[in-house]
Amino acid sequence: MTDPRLTRLAQGLPASVPFVGPERLERMRGAPFVARLGANESGFGPSPRVAEAIRAAADEAWMYPDPDMHALRNAIAAHNEVAPENVMIGEGIDGLLGNLVRLLVAPGDSVVTSVGAYPTFNYHVTGFGGVLHTVPYTGNFEDPERLVAKARETGAKLIYLANPDNPMGSHHSAHMMRNLVTNVPAGCLLIVDEAYIELAPQGTALAVAPDDARVIRMRTFSKGYGLAGLRVGYALGARDLIAAFDRVRNHFGVGRVAQAAALAALGDQDWLAQINARVADSRDRLAAIALENGLVPLASATNFVAIDCGADGTFARAVLDVLATRGIFVRMPGVAPLDRCIRVTCGPDNQIDAFAKALPDALAAARRHA
């Protein structure tokens, strides 16, 4: 029964969440996973400097955090060669997306994204009453031309695109992204989700003037820096838009310990370089495992590999189900035709070994029931 005190908008929302966490799945199966390869976390962990920073900040956990996030904000600005006024920090990209949608999308406003792209963005748009308009991927890529065309057609307030992409792992060049910015319709804002940018090839990151009001870029400490559990992300955008976040954000949303950890992670670029090398090796292993089993690994600019299982979503879902019974947590894209793939996160050798051991049986079981 729906609580009658809910707003009309809230009463009409689906009773769902964007992701079911692996912890819930472990509780449902009554056992922990052997390999946690479904959430695109960094199983390689954060820099040792992060642990030191967390220990040092632990005694100050009784204090509220600096709501200005001064030290971290200035460090991020320096790292990205922008002014602090071009930076906003939040509770991961998810929190920043929620605040941005709250700022710009009123009930009935149109928003454009790709069908099958990041579901948490859709969750926020729906939650604030926006109207989602979607365009299909072109092959394994989000399609900038289709996104722009749909934005013009619908008078959209926002366009969302991830580069590199989740869930397919593909990426567009900085040149192509620059062309996309040039074509953003008047009155529309392009959101470029760069969660995986630290792991992407050189020449991927969008280069724009810090105060270009047509675009906002979002990044996170959850992937390459290995801080998914602390929830720290940041946006890079025009000063007026960044300042507007202060009207709606949770000013104490990024804790004192999280700020200290992110500052330490950003300061250890040598560690990030090591992680990039380990991720590249793991991507190569996952690709080789896929090929050994007659599957097709997609080229990836992220810390995961999407593997085309060669059939439809029903078959790929069956593979996932059997892998779960073997203690292997992986995920898959949610809509066709992307759901022909399973998506496997890079990780330590022992977890990749477990996946390699379980995959042949999972494929055989899925084929028996196809």
Question: In the predicted model, is pLDDT for residue 2 greater than 80?
Answer: no
Superfamily of domain 8-45+270-368: Aspartate Aminotransferase, domain 1 (3.90.1150.10)
Q: What is the pLDDT of residues 325-352, one digit of tens each?
A: 999 999 999 999 999 999 999 999 999 9
Pair 155, 184: CB distance under 8 Å: no
Return the residue matching tokens 């006024």. Answer: 85
Pair 25, 324: CB distance under 8 Å: yes
Predicted pLDDT of residue 18: 83
Predicted pLDDT of residue 1: 65
Size (the chain), residues: 370
- How many Å apart are CA 75 and CA 60, to the nearest integer? 21
Question: In the predicted model, is pLDDT for residue 370 greater than 90?
Answer: no
- How many Å apart are CA 42 and CA 351, to the nearest integer? 12
Q: What is the pLDDT of residues 122-165, one digit of tens each?
A: 999 999 999 999 999 999 999 999 999 999 999 999 999 999 99
Q: What is the pLDDT of residues 209-256, one digit of tens each?
A: 999 999 999 999 999 999 999 999 999 999 999 999 999 999 999 999
Predicted pLDDT of residue 221: 98
Predicted pLDDT of residue 17: 80
Q: What is the pLDDT of residues 14-28, one digit of tens each?
A: 887 888 899 999 999
The mean of the pLDDT values for the chain is: 96
Q: Output the six-digit token pair for 322.
A: 């059997």
Pair 294, 164: CB distance under 8 Å: no
Predicted pLDDT of residue 219: 98
Name the phi and psi angles at 193, rounded to 5: -85, 110
- Indicate the range of 2-16, 184-198, 265-279 predicted with least confidence: 2-16
Question: In the predicted model, is pLDDT for residue 120 greater than 80?
Answer: yes
Helix axes 349-368, 269-292, angle to 10 degrees: 30
Q: What is the pLDDT of residues 272-295, one digit of tens each?
A: 999 999 999 999 999 999 999 999
- Which DSSP helix (H) or strand (E) runs through 75? helix 70-80
Predicted pLDDT of residue 272: 98
Name the phi and psi angles at 205, rounded to 5: -65, 135
Q: Do domains 8-45+270-368 and 48-268 have the same CATH topology?
A: no
Domain 48-268 has CATH 1.10.3720.10: no
Name the phi and psi angles at 314, rounded to 5: -65, -45
Instruction: For the chain, give every domain's residue range.
Output: 8-45+270-368, 48-268
Q: Output the six-digit token pair for 2.
A: 């729906």
Torsion of CA 134, 140, 144, 148, to 10 degrees: -20
